[in-house]
Amino acid sequence: MGRESNNYIRTIINVVLIILQLIIFGFIFIRIVDYAYQVYWVIQVIAVLVVLSIVYKRKITSFKISWIIFILTLPVLGILLYLIWGNKHLTKKNIEEWQKNNDNTINQLSQSRELYDSIENPGFIKEINLINHLTGLPVWKNTRSTYLKLGEIMHAEHLELINSAQKYVFIEYFIMAKGKMYDEMMAALIKKARAGVEVRILVDEMGSLGVLPRDFYKVCAENGIKSIPFNPLSRSLYKFISFRDHRKITIVDGNRAIVGGINIGDEYINAIVKHGHWKDMAVKLEGDAVNSLVAMYLNMWDNLSGQSSHLHDYSGESLNIETNDLVMPFGDGPMNQQNPAENMYMSLFANAKDYIYISTPYLILNSDMINCIQMAARAGVDVRIMTPGIADKAIVHRTTRSFYGDLLAEGVKIYEYTPGFLHGKVLVSDDEVCMIGSINMDYRSLTWNYESAAWISSPETVRDVKEDFFSIMDQCQEIEFSEWQNKSFFTHLGQAMLRIVAPLM
């Protein structure tokens, strides 16, 4: 029996078990109706205890307030959803296993003291120290970065990268959907696997639910490709719904890689029209900095597979690229309780002197992030945020818009990309630094997801990102504060309600 058949059987069994749990819950609920008064007070006591536990936790204030309101308003539903969705069920064993995998991967990397001592920009030093402290990953030089400003460009570079592989190809994507982009990628990977190149694929089953070809695992197994599903449907609804591998990474031979916001799907290369023109971005890295992405990938693979990899077995040969550009790939995820992605965003806002421009598909902010953006604008920094003009999820788009008022009032400029859906997660600041990756400015990316990005100080790459941003702005409608103020009372009321539930999305 093949792996594909086992996956179907496992899925059927898990669905049956989940349905049985729901039936049992329904039966219990019917039985306790006769004791409604007593049950009411038991539920109230439990709700208060859950609320007190939320207050005690080290969480952002807006997250706490949203759950407290939800639980006190609808105790039964609120408590159940909080237990399933709102509370990270990370055991001591989970964290210990993750840290053990770090010992053979991320912890094998160390910061070059000579490189660190050569950095003179105080803002860079603060940002580098922050990410190194929170993730253990170092900053690198001798790395060439190439900005890929469209999915179509990324796809061409992606195929070229795979076709050049001599030793291995590591693939990790949130969405892999059947279609032209998928077919061409798989054809290249199969060709390489048959030629003896090691090929591994990590795919998030929640992100790819309903779009991943049904024979994916069978095709991989028949062609010598190793594949592991992240977040498969299991008896734990919590794990299936909450944790997601949102990264988009391809690594070849340990010295070349692509990282960014582009998934494997035809809308990302505009081969199909889904939400107007799809604008997305990534970056190709060549050189020493790819070692950090290799360590991140092996760490994830070992955590899912139970294997034990060693970073030195997959370190890439030097490409003899000599440049003083600084490149710092890093990752984030629920196992890291210190939220490096959110901290990096806030550090970039705090260090900005002249301008900071951001592209994000979702703008769902906590109070700390709002204050950080507002403080930059109050200090005279030119803050500009670009979001989609056409929504992929209507309620999320409305929630994004609900945050405009607080920012516009402080002089932040907001632009909506009118041709379609702006999916890129990119930042550029002061003609000095940019950040490109998979990290949305929302609660899910900054709290629940495994994410990846590259912090880059390269004159050429920063220039290319900035020029692309001005091109994007030329195709955007700027949102005026007066326009936002003149919206109806019911619109503002609806937005206020969305703000309350925003951390629950």
Residue range 142-179, pLDDT digits in tens: 999 999 999 999 999 999 999 999 999 999 999 999 99
Q: Give the confidence band of 1 by pLDDT, cuts at 50, 70, 90.
A: very low
Q: Are domains 92-126+141-324 and 340-504 of this chain identical in fold?
A: yes
Q: Which residues, at least 6 apart from 27, have a Cβ–Cβ distance to it below 8 Å? A: none
The pLDDT of residue 326 is 98
**φ and ψ of 425, to 5 deg:** -115, 85
Instruction: Decide: 179 and 265 in contact? Cβ < 8 Å.
Output: yes
d(CA 481, CA 497) in angstroms, rounded, equals 20
Mean pLDDT of 132-136: 95
More confident residue, 31 or 113: 113
CA dist 18 and 205 (Å) reads: 17
Alpha-carbon gap, residue 444 to 127, rounded angstroms: 23
Element containing residue 199 per DSSP (H, E)? strand 198-204
Percent of the chain surpassing pLDDT 90: 63
Tell me the DSSP string of 353-379: SSEEEEE-S-B---HHHHHHHHHHHHT
What is residue 70's three-state secondary structure? helix
- The answer to whether the CB of 416 falls within 8 A of the CB of 389 is yes
Over the stretch 323-373, which tens digit does the pLDDT of each residue have?
999 999 999 998 887 889 999 999 999 999 999 999 999 999 988 899 999
231 in the Ramachandran plot: left (φ > 0), alpha (ψ -120 to 50) or beta? left
pLDDT at 19: 67
- Give the 3-state secondary structure of 264-303: ECHHHHCCCCCCCEEECCEEEEEECCHHHHHHHHHHHHHH
Tokens representing 451 are 């994410």
Residues sharing a CB contact under 8 Å with residue 343, sequence separation 6 or more, in sequence order: 130, 134
Cα–Cα dist 176/264, whole Å: 5
6: tokens are 């086992």
Task: Kindly report the length of the chain.
Answer: 505
pLDDT band at 103; cut points 50, 70, 90: confident
Residue type, 26: G
- Return the pLDDT at 253: 98
Is 80 exceeded by the pLDDT of residue 11? no
Structure tokens at 77: 């539903």
Judge contact between 103 and 71, C-beta under 8 A: no
- For 340-504, CATH gives 3.30.870.10
Position 235 pLDDT exceeds 50: no
pLDDT of 395 over the 90 cut:
no
Kindly state the average pLDDT of the residues 171-195. Answer: 98
Output b/e per residue, 319-335; b: 16+ Cβ within 10 A. beeeeebbbbbbbbbbb
Instruction: Tell me: pLDDT of 61 over 70.
Output: no
- Per-residue pLDDT at 307 exceeds 70: yes
pLDDT digits (tens, 9 = 90+) for 436-477: 999 999 988 988 899 999 999 999 999 999 999 999 999 999
Any idea where the domains of the chain sit in the sequence?
3-86, 92-126+141-324, 340-504
In sequence order, the β-bridge partners of residue 332 are 451
- Give the CATH fold of the 92-126+141-324 domain: Endonuclease; Chain A (3.30.870)
